Structure 1
Amino acid sequence: MFDFFRKTASEAPGAPEAKASAVGPLTAGIAGRVAAMQSITHPRWTARDTVSLTRSGFLGNPVGFRAVRMITEAAAALPLVLEDAERRYDQHPVLSLIARPNPVQSRAELLEAVFTQLLLTGNAYVEAVNTETAGTPTELHVLRSDRMRVVPGADGWPAAYDYAVGGRKHRFTVGESASPICHLRAYHPLDDHYGLSPIEAAAGALDVHNAASRWSKALLDNAARPSGAIIYRGSDGQASMTNEQFERLQSEMELHHQGARNAGRPMLLEGGLDWKPMGFSPSDMEFHKTKEAAAREVALAFGVPPMMLGIPGDATYSNYQEANRAFYRLTVLPLASKVAAGLSHWLSDHTGQALTLKPDLDQVPALSIEREAQWRRVAGASFLTDAEKRRLLGLPPLAEEA
């Protein structure tokens, strides 16, 4: 905390102000929030930068970790179809590229990395590697969002992307031809170049949940019960302990009676000492409810039904199957469709074809009941032509109809 009061040379009055082209407003906002959080009279919140939020909400929180894993694994497993205005392709260079994007990653691994970056940072960057000057890329690579910076041009649109790692920086220039970087981002109402991640919206609930877990750990370290008080009365009931007696008693308590390994050990008190245990207060009894409420808020921000995360006390859905269908319909499919549309639009610039990449809803087991009902309704509609039925089902026209 005392580091806050130290002034570096760059912070001295009259020193020139250093600004980064793309992230100056962001870093300035973060610095202001960090300074405001230094006061001990206010709650300490996790810094709202990408690395801190990832460590706190994904690497260090089981609810956030499981929510992200459920979404990314489900979305990456969705089968994809490629089509244009005339046909649906069974074989195509883009399908081959998606199936084996690079020598070390499979289709699922690449897509899982894209979805994870979007959920944790609000941004995902895919690099196209071309051995030729034009045409379908030979490889696709997902770049870490925390290392990428957007360089805006004079018109406000990205003119380049700077990727920094290990003290080195590489610039991807955006010209008139197809961009080497596909930037996928979640909508952010207050930022022109970077997206808003669910983990940032859930940061407050994640801090509460993490604090509750630390409180539980501290309680276990103290024999899994509230601490008590040792009262020294002396022979006349008014005496006080000497410094030597106090230090000896404190050392004995820490050595022989604190921690999980000493739980249940009987305490031997000398004359004049009395142990008075302290029970749970009403606020302590509400502790677990607070933790569960924070977990539900985290699940709400990510769009995962709390029932699927094992969070008790949630009766929004009557059964697990209904919750699973809602999870796919409201969370997984919109995310997968957005990423597939962004990739197909970007790859169309490289190939010169107007291609559409989208999830194949007929091969999603969680939606089989809904799709079966839709097929039955469309097939039974005698007032529709075959071409109209195919359009309603999301199928391209037949060759003779095109």
Structure 2
Amino acid sequence: MGFLERITNRHTERFQRPAAALSRFGWDDYLSLFSADPFGLGFYQTITGSQERVEGNFDGIVNGVYKRSGVVFACLLSRLLVFSEARFQWRGFNSGRPGNLFGGQDLALLERPWPGATTGDLLARMEQDSSLAGAFFATRRRSRDGRDRIVRLRPDWVTIVLGSYEDPDLQAFDLDAELIGYIYQPPTGRTEVLLPEEVCHYAPIPDPVASFRGMSLLQAVIRDIEGDMAASTHKLKFFENGASPNMVVTMDASVTPEVFERFKEKMELSHRGAVNAYRTLYLGGGADVKTVGNSFEQMSYKAIQALGETRIAAALGVPPVIVGLSEGLASATYSNYAQARRRFGDGTLRPLWRNAAGSLANLLPPRPNAQLWYDDRDVSFLREDKKDAAEIFQVEASTIASLVREGFTAESAQAATAAQDSGLLVHTGLLSVQLQPPGAQLSPGAGEPEPEDENEDEPADEEGPDGAVLDEEEQQP
């Protein structure tokens, strides 16, 4: 079976529909992706359908920004270290509500995604690719030893292929409405066509001008990153040039150019650079030195650079105090750090984990009445949240117990507390505490006065030694 035939057969099985269904991407549509090269040797050059590629130069972003900007690296490192601590479990449902987490043998693929790797390594790759390129791509393959493993697809070598389908009601074509698949073409290697169900496509920040492509976190703050890097370069040049502002040296008009060149060479040799800083400057021959420009203090260098760092951290979803940036540390207290940690966990990490679980579920066989979910119970960074969760659980348990004592059913009290909706409460019609119907007695004869003994004033009969009752004559006077 040939390459295109294999792809077409899989595609036909997936999109098999009744006659009245919408027309789908078929054999002729696949052939239209190729021109003179029907076997995919020039996929990128010959594709004619709608497509989406990662914007920018991935190598340039990694080498020029990620590996050179200390602020960007620190922010992304803070995200990566905590993001990679989560685990994945199946989560069941009870009456439509999320239930308990449980494991399974099918989760071994995520626990050992490739030889020598763990779930943390997989999540680290997902975080790096999505932050730098906007998306993470991976697929499932069978290795030589017969085990399945996850293979990362470098994002800038992936093309998202889009198609169109005909709406029989409107008799119109809705372009870019359907995801056809993915084309993976490394510079060296075999070009692959993958169907949507074969690819984990993790793009937490969607690009507004694209249908499926994600957007890099660095794209919105590239100017701030450039400004921060320029400020660092300025600081470096400041120390390289003697740890002082720029100087202008003027000479007398009688000094010849040859003499000036010799003077310039000797002065730079003796006074340029941080090693020669603060040395005594000797001038002669009518030379005059003047300083120009502003010092760090005059231009408020620390405040300017701190503002740029804060803007970068805000775009990356990391509070400055978590990263350790100067503006965050200036107002850092234990209370502020705890609030920043809560903001980082609830506002950044948990939405990303939820999205990652949904994307990775594409590589696992589906489970009925269950979904792939993240497990953050072992993340030490969020340990403070466990204390808050325990307190919330204690309050909810106390509320449920109070409602049950007041006569509401236990099931409705639990549902109303979980949904924070008092309209779900169902009363039993019983009174509180005893839970008895109105007018009912607690026990037979309860509440009635005890009958008086008619012989209460009469003397009691006396008994003899053998227990027999004595006659009146035999009784003692």
Q: Same fold (TM over 0.5)?
A: yes
Distance 2:185 2:226 in 1: 29
Distance 2:110 2:326 in 1: 39
The alpha-carbon deviation at position 131 of structure 1 amounts to 7.0
User: What is residue 44 of structure 1 aligned with on the other side?
Assistant: none
TM-score normalized by the length of structure 2: 0.65
User: CA separation of 1:192/1:320 partners in 2, compared to 1, >3 Å: closer, same or farther?
Assistant: same
Task: Give matches, 1:11-50, under 5 Å.
Answer: 48-50=56-58
Task: Say if 1:114 and 1:142, in contact at 8 Å, map to a contact too.
Answer: no
TM-score normalized by the length of structure 1: 0.76
1:60 to 43, 55, 68: 68
Task: Give matches, 1:224-243, under 5 Å.
Answer: 224-233=243-252, 239-243=253-257
Range 356-365 or range 100-109, more displaced: 356-365
Task: Give matches, 1:47-196, under 5 Å.
Answer: 48-85=56-93, 88=100, 90-130=102-142, 138-155=148-165, 156=176, 157-174=178-195, 179-185=197-203, 186-196=205-215
Task: Say if 1:159 and 1:173, in contact at 8 Å, map to a contact too.
Answer: no
The alpha-carbon deviation at position 326 of structure 1 amounts to 1.4
The alpha-carbon deviation at position 240 of structure 1 amounts to 4.9
Distance 1:281 1:263 in 2: 15
Task: Say if 1:110 and 1:141, in contact at 8 Å, map to a contact too.
Answer: no
Distance 1:328 1:322 in 2: 10
Residues 371-391 of structure 1 show CA distances to partners (whole Å, capped at 9, x for unaligned) of 122211221222474697489
Residues 313-368 of structure 1 show CA distances to partners (whole Å, capped at 9, x for unaligned) of 34498521221121111111111111112222x145x3464541223354441412
Higher RCO (CA-CA < 8 Å; seq separation 6+): 1
Task: Say if 2:51 and 2:160, in contact at 8 Å, map to a contact too.
Answer: no
Distance 2:77 2:417 in 1: 33
User: In structure 1, what residue type is equivalent to 2:64?
Assistant: S
Distance 1:114 1:270 in 2: 64
Q: RMSD of aligned C-alpha atoms?
A: 3.2
Distance 1:121 1:111 in 2: 15
User: What is residue 376 of structure 1 aligned with on the other side?
Assistant: 394
User: What is residue 459 of structure 2 aligned with on the other side?
Assistant: none
Helix, strand or coil at the partner of 2:139: strand
Task: Say if 1:223 and 1:260, in contact at 8 Å, map to a contact too.
Answer: yes
Helix, strand or coil at the partner of 1:85: strand
Task: Say if 2:307 and 2:327, in contact at 8 Å, map to a contact too.
Answer: no
Distance 1:280 1:392 in 2: 63
User: In structure 2, what residue type is equivalent to 1:66?
Assistant: A
User: What is residue 310 of structure 1 aligned with on the other side?
Assistant: 324
Task: Give matches, 1:360-371, under 5 Å.
Answer: 360-363=375-378, 364-371=382-389
The number of residues matched between the two structures is: 345
Distance 1:267 1:217 in 2: 22
User: What is residue 275 of structure 1 aligned with on the other side?
Assistant: 289
Distance 1:389 1:342 in 2: 32
Helix, strand or coil at the partner of 1:357: strand
Distance 1:90 1:386 in 2: 24
Task: Say if 2:245 and 2:294, in contact at 8 Å, map to a contact too.
Answer: yes
Identity %: 22
User: What is residue 207 of structure 1 aligned with on the other side?
Assistant: 226
User: In structure 1, what residue type is equivalent to 2:399?
Assistant: A
Task: Say if 1:172 and 1:180, in contact at 8 Å, map to a contact too.
Answer: no
The alpha-carbon deviation at position 113 of structure 1 amounts to 0.7
Distance 1:113 1:225 in 2: 44
Q: Which structure has the greater CA radius of gyration?
A: 2
Helix, strand or coil at the partner of 1:228: strand
Range 244-253 or range 87-96, more displaced: 87-96
